[in-house]
Amino acid sequence: MGKSPIHRTATRLAQALKDLDIPFAIAGALAANIHGYHRTTADVDVLLTAEGLRRFKERWLGRGWVEVFPGSKAIRDTQDNVKIDILLTGGYPGDGKPKPVAFPDPARASEASADGMPVLPLTVLLELKLASGMTAPHRPRDLDDVIQLIRANALGLDYAQRLDPYVQGKYRELWDAAQINEDY
């Protein structure tokens, strides 16, 4: 991971979670970066269980971390003033409404990045971004992330078979878009 405030926050957060033996996985733009699509972001997205979030807050609130507002899932790193968006196991991406794709348990849905940071596997990241973009028109960035991840990883059309059936059609549509050469 890099040396920006976002990366420093992610590293400190990871250490705090590891110290409490709380399973987690980096998600969102940082996960996309780890999987080869490099883009900027203003926050850290992390997948936790409700129990993991409770334990983290119990130990760390007021000690370098604060809630964005009282009772919020989101927290802020006071050292670098970076927001951390918490994705909770069992929640639904995009519009938040029930669908076949939900945020998984990080204890079962993470893999170690090259630097040892637990991150969502590419298949899970794609499923979540596809489901989000399909159900939340205000989140087109998630669909663009899928296009860019297809390009960065040279994914084939057959990669759709690895994904939840709910998102396979959208993957195929975006795979077609990813084949368009942008060199004018």
Tens digit of each residue's pLDDT (9 = 90 or more) over 15-45: 999 999 999 999 999 999 999 999 999 999 9
Q: What is the model's pLDDT at position 1?
A: 47
Domain ranges, ordered by start, for the chain: 5-178
Strand partners, 86: 46
What's the pLDDT score for residue 138?
94
Give the per-residue pLDDT at 184.
57
3-state helix, strand, coil in the chain (%, to 5): 45, 15, 40
Low-confidence ranges of the chain (pLDDT < 50): 1
Task: Enumerate residues 6+ apart whose C-beta is below 8 A from 166.
Answer: 99, 100, 101, 131
Rounded to two decimals, what is the model's pTM? 0.95
Spatial contact of 84 and 9, defined as CB atoms under 8 Å apart? yes
Topology (CATH) of 5-178: Beta Polymerase; domain 2 (3.30.460)
pLDDT of residue 88: 98
The alpha carbon torsion through 129, 100, 86, 60 (nearest 10 deg) reads -140
